[in-house]
Amino acid sequence: MAHELWLIKGGTMTNITPLLGTLTWRSNMEELGDEINFSIAFTDTNYFPVNPCDIGDMVALYNNGKEITRAIIVDELKNGRSPIAYVAFDYAFYLNKSNAVYQFNKLSADACIKKIAKDFNIQVGKIVSIPKPIDQIYNDKKVSEIIKDILTIAEQSLGVKYLMEMRQGKLYIEKQGDVVVTGTFQLFEGGPKYDIHSALMNPSKRRSITEMANTIQVVGNNDKVVLTKSDNKMIEKYGRITKVIKLDQNEKKSAKQVAENELKQLSKVSEENSVELMGHDDFRAGRLFALEEPTTGIKGTFLIKDVLHTISKGIHTIKPTLEVK
């Protein structure tokens, strides 16, 4: 099996792959970080290997020697003689569970995030320049929510979407369009390689206007409307659906740009697609994937909203949810 799960205790690494019953890992746009789920075979038979895993231990997932992700075991479930189930989250777990107070005075968005990462001992792999000054006070907010809010402010103002993820224990923030997934798969080690698009299973397509906003109202701190931007063609076809955005007084000069960027993102029929594919480690939430499927009419380059990886009997499969970007 190309994928291996290693247990890390201090400076000692133990390959626990032979003890595994199941192995899945997932990522989701609404969450920061990856989740690994696995089970360890258990029996009280003499000479059976002792379970080496415990809460707080680190596990690292590899494929042919390349690290995919590493995570801290946070949950353990023992149920009679059934396999022992574990849940592990990568280092973003600490950002999701910790609250903090921050006051930023016109510090660039990337500098704000770097400061937060330093304060919580999160190593930074790469954070691109995000030239949007942040002038905000965050009082007792979840650290992951603070980072997401900073990126939202920057995206509304700059019209650029950002990808945030952890890799090998380090935080990366890049422009979303820079990370497009392509690849091949093998049915067995040393076997021929096939394009990942050649084995599509169970495609489905859902279109909806429930998330649409075709009118954007920007209001100031006094709740007075600063300006309104509308997509008249979409209003005529689907009716008026309004979203209100509140800006600080100092941000009023950028109200037009914010409204235009929000309208561009929201004034559309949303499309959410799902499909099953042979596995590829590069599939992670927030990245992009180009797909064409004639039966359902799925066609385009889509945002990976969430993805579940499963390894069963040595076969790696994935179930991504794809959204029009």
pLDDT over 60 at 47, yes or no: no
Mean pLDDT calculated for residue range 265-278: 92
Taking Cα atoms as reference points, which of 270, 269, 220, 209 lies closest to residue 245?
A: 220
Asked whether residue 310 carries a pLDDT value surpassing 80, the answer given is: yes
pLDDT band, residue 322 (cuts 50/70/90): very high
pLDDT higher than threshold 60 for residue 277: yes
- Burial label, 292 (beta-carbon count in 10 A; 0-12, 13-18, 19+): exposed
Question: Quick check: 70 pLDDT over 60?
Answer: yes
Q: How confident is the model at residue 213 (pLDDT cuts 50, 70, 90)?
A: very high
pTM comes to: 0.82
Report residue 315's pLDDT band, with 50, 70 and 90 as the boundaries. confident
